[in-house]
Amino acid sequence: MRVAAVQLNSTADTAANTATAERLTRAAAADGARLVVLPEKWTVLGRDDDLRAGAQTVRGPAIEWARALARELRIDLVAGSIVERREAAGEPLANTSVHIGPDGELRAVYRKLHMFDVEVAGRVYRESAVTEPGSEVVLSASADGVELGMAICYDLRFPGLFAALAARGARVVVLPSAFTLPTTRDHWEILVRARAIENEVFVIAANQVGAHPGGNRSGGQSLICDPWGVVLARAQEQEGYVAADLDLVRQAEIRAQLPVLEHRRPEVYSQTSPRTRGSSTGALA
C-alpha cells in the first residue's frame, strides 16, 4: 500500500493554498500513492481572525474540491484539517479532518480532541480561542479495507488516544499537523516514532513548514513511520511530498511476535484510586 504525506506552507490565501495542495497531491498520486494526507489547516493558517474568516463547512468549497480530486485520481484523500464552520447556526468552530474515498464520498469526519493551549519558547498559543474540541474517537477505512485512525497535531502528545485507536483496529494513523518549529526540532520525530512503536501502527504525519501570517513557524519534517519505529520517509524544510510503501504483512508479523496490543490491561490502568504503598502481597525480586 503506497501512501504519501503532503507538506505545505499555508497562509491566509486559501486559493493559493489549494493550488499548491492540488499540485502536490497530483504529483503524489502520479508516484503511485493510493492514500494521500494533507497537513493541518491546509486551507488557511495565520492569525485568529484569518482562521475565523477562512472557516468552511464540510460541504464547503475546500472539501468539495477534495472530493472531486479524490474521485478523479481514484485515491483516498485525508483533507488534512480545516477550520470547520458548523452547518447549524450558533455551533462553535472546530478543527476538523475529513477522509474522502476514491468515489469522492466522505468516509469519516474527525474533530480534534485536544486544544493547543500552551506556551512554547515564550509564545502563547490558544487554539481554544478559535475552535472547540471534538468528543469522539474516529476510525475509518481505506478503499483497500485498511483501518485508519484519525488524529490531528497536538493529539500526538496523548498516548491514550492512539491506544484507543489501536484497540479499535487501527493499522494506520493519519496525523495532519502544524507542529511549531521548536517542538518539531525537539519532540516531533520522537513522538511520532513512539506512537508507532507503542501501538504497532504506521503513522503518516503530514506537517506544515515555514513562516505563517502572525509570526507562527512550523518545522516541516513530515514523516511516514512503520510499526517498528523505522522512518520510511522524511520531508525536508520546504513544500513537497514524501511517499512510502506500507508493508502490511510485516506489520502482522510484528504484532504476532511482539503482541503488546494483546498484553495491555486497561481494566488495571483505569483504576482511579492509587493503591496503598506496600500493600502488594507479591514477592519482591
pLDDT value at residue 275: 55
pLDDT tens-digit series, residues 81-93: 999 998 776 789 9
244 forms beta bridges with 3
pLDDT tens profile 56-72: 999 999 999 999 999 99
Q: Work out the pLDDT band at 260, boundaries 50, 70, 90.
A: very high
pLDDT over 70, % of the chain? 95
Q: Could you tell me the sign of the dihedral formed by the alpha carbons of 136, 164, 6, 127, in that order?
A: positive
pLDDT digits (tens, 9 = 90+) for 14-26: 999 999 999 999 9
Query: What is the pTM (predicted TM-score) of this model?
Result: 0.93
* Predicted local distance difference test score (pLDDT) of residue 281: 41
Residue 284: pLDDT above 70? no
Q: What is the pLDDT of residue 4?
A: 98
Q: Residue 33 and residue 50: Cα distance in Å, rounded?
A: 32
For residues 79-106, give the mean pLDDT: 93
CA distance 159 to 176: 16
The pLDDT confidence band at residue 274, using thresholds 50, 70 and 90, is low
pLDDT at residue 170, rounded to an integer: 98
Record: fold of 2-264: Nitrilase/N-carbamoyl-D-aminoacid amidohydrolase (3.60.110)
% pLDDT > 90, the chain: 89
- Flag whether pLDDT at 160 surpasses 90: yes
Q: What is the pLDDT of residue 46?
A: 95
Out of 41, 127, 153, 200, the active site residue is 153
Please say if 153 is a catalytic residue: yes
Known catalytic residue: 112? yes
Considering the candidates 40, 84, 127, 239, report the single residue annotated as catalytic.
Answer: 40
For residues 84 and 112, the answer to whether their CB atoms sit within 8 Å is: no
Place 272 in a pLDDT band, splitting at 50, 70 and 90. Answer: low
Out of 41, 112, 127, 225, the active site residue is 112
Mean pLDDT of 275-283: 45
